[in-house]
Structure 1
């Protein structure tokens, strides 16, 4: 009888100790503050998709060069329909025919027109607005469009340069057959030209 009761007694003690150990484990786990929570294993860590990098948009909106921002000026954007090496060649010949001169500091072309002190500026229509020196054979990438800029006259009667400006914009529109937009990115109309010439205000 004694030989049977000893194993039974030992088994009972083992069960009691096991139950105490389990109870102690769950008690300590429930009492542990959140900061002491066991670390999540790498396999349990949710994988977040990487943020997509924004690729350059080839159809980004045109804008006047930052170096010329803040000036009171007219702006007409001439966006080429199919820019390629051919349009670069035509643009080069067009600039040469207008006796344009390259401003290396601002990287724009200047056309004197009727008033050298207020030249018509030909800049790249797309940021950062820098033109390659086409007349010297420099070409970094295909020019997709240009922006024509000019300061309006102080006196309305002295608007000869505005007539040159409008004529140049119309010539470029005929030559490159793309889109021509005003400074607010709206399509240009005859009304736009009349406002630049000051005719709309006299009506």
Structure 2
């Protein structure tokens, strides 16, 4: 994902440079490169946004329903704990859940038997719970009824993981915005009709 976004960025930069090539053998190749770059870029981001907006159902997964029973809207994160030797932590933003509402996530737990739920009120972590998955054939429901921190040590690790996750997403968001700007500029130049110079009068 990140690699493709970088490729699109530099391809769009080259497309702007190739805009200056309007004559000679390279002109047709430069225009073809610009067209292919635009088609690939728009197709990729269209596919990516459709995939992001679709329901994240995963085959052979555990369904998780997070219910907010608190009187305030909380911003929830999920961290899946890899039970392998590496013990990798896989964070995911569940989203803001209003009181008496819920969100559903589907977890691929083939290499994990544990996950954490983290809740933020503004920038403050106000909820942390640790959950085991003894039976991967049974969906789970987590009702957030109070402000608790089940483990100060694990919640500290979770906070660092979420902070890193948000930082990387912020950087990715900046690159995506730059890509959109370059795509827009390239499209405008590609679709713009060249103005014809008025013919000089012999009078």
Pair in the same fold by TM > 0.5: no
Report which of the two structures shows the higher radius of gyration computed on alpha carbons. 1
The structure richer in strand per residue is: 2
Q: TM-score range by the shorter chain?
A: under 0.3
Q: So what's the TM-score if we normalise by structure 2?
A: 0.22
Q: TM-score, normalised by structure 1?
A: 0.22
